[in-house]
Structure 1
Amino acid sequence: MTTNDLTAAPDDASFAVHVPDVVLEPEPLDPAQIVSGAPVVTGAVLWESPDGKQLRGIWQITPGVVTDTEANELFVVVSGRATVEIEGGDTLQLGPGTAAVLREGDRATWTVHETLRKAYHITLS
């Protein structure tokens, strides 16, 4: 499977991608989420469970400040830097190599200092 052809492998096949080279597609950002700047979000779903409740993929956001209500997610930052403030909780400093866990329903403010790319696994209720 190549990084530009994510459909080349059967759904149940093991595969590997070079995360920095995965071609990402635009993902519209709700203007109400933008606090400052003009951040742009892109992503690619690499795998989805048959019931649609688990997703694995790559996600990227350019500098700016946005709010979000989080899903149950584990991710590893591949490149870039951001600060994520969890309402009523911790402030996470993210950079290359950082693994983070977000809880479903967390309300967060993302301050993206440098374009951030992450590989993620999301479990939906």
Structure 2
Amino acid sequence: MADADLEPEPLDASQIVAGEPVVTGKVLWESPDGQQIRGIWQITPGVVTDTEANELFVVVSGRATIEVEGGSVLEVGPGDACVLREGDRTQWTVHETLRKAYHISL
């Protein structure tokens, strides 16, 4: 997983708060009904905003601070697991290129 080839996933310019972060990823599995997705996602340093899906992820490499609007501030690094809820508005400050393995439930 640490060396999987990833494909570009361009960010919407309105999501970029600072820097020039680049996002790549790869879907590894999707349920037949499209309601469950598992994959790998990576982002280079910078600050971005997002509105989340129901997601469980584990950080493979890198470090980031994730601020959940009206909620927690999460410091994540290698081996950390995190759960985000659908509709959570977040700001990601990526300190070192972050790669995560994720499972999303739609």
Same fold (TM over 0.5): yes
Q: Render the CA deviation track for 1:4-60: whole Å, top value 9, x for unaligned.
A: xxxxxxxxxxxxxxx111100000100000000000000000000011111000000
Structure 2 counterpart of 1:82, one-letter code: A
Residues 1-125 of structure 1 aligned to structure 2 (within 5 Å): 19-124=1-106
Question: Which residue of the partner structure matches residue 15 of structure 1?
Answer: none
SS of the residue 1:60 aligns to: strand
Question: Which residue of the partner structure matches residue 9 of structure 1?
Answer: none
Unaligned regions of 5+ residues in structure 1, if any?
1-18
**Cα distance in 2, alignment partners of residues 37 and 72 from structure 1:** 27
**Cα distance in 2, alignment partners of residues 21 and 117 from structure 1:** 10
Give the TM-score normalised by structure 2.
Answer: 0.99
Pairwise CA RMSD: 0.4
Q: Percent same amino acid at aligned positions?
A: 79
In the TM superposition, structure 1's runs of 4+ consecutive aligned residues that sit over 6 Å from their partners are none
* Larger radius of gyration between Structure 1 and Structure 2: 1
**Cα distance in 1, alignment partners of residues 67 and 9 from structure 2:** 22
Structure 2 counterpart of 1:99, one-letter code: A
Structure 1 counterpart of 2:35, one-letter code: K
Give the TM-score normalised by structure 1.
Answer: 0.84
**Number of aligned residue pairs:** 106
Unaligned regions of 5+ residues in structure 2, if any?
none
Q: Relative contact order, CA 8 A, sep 6+: which one is greater?
A: 2
Question: When you count strand as a share of all residues, which structure comes out higher?
Answer: 2
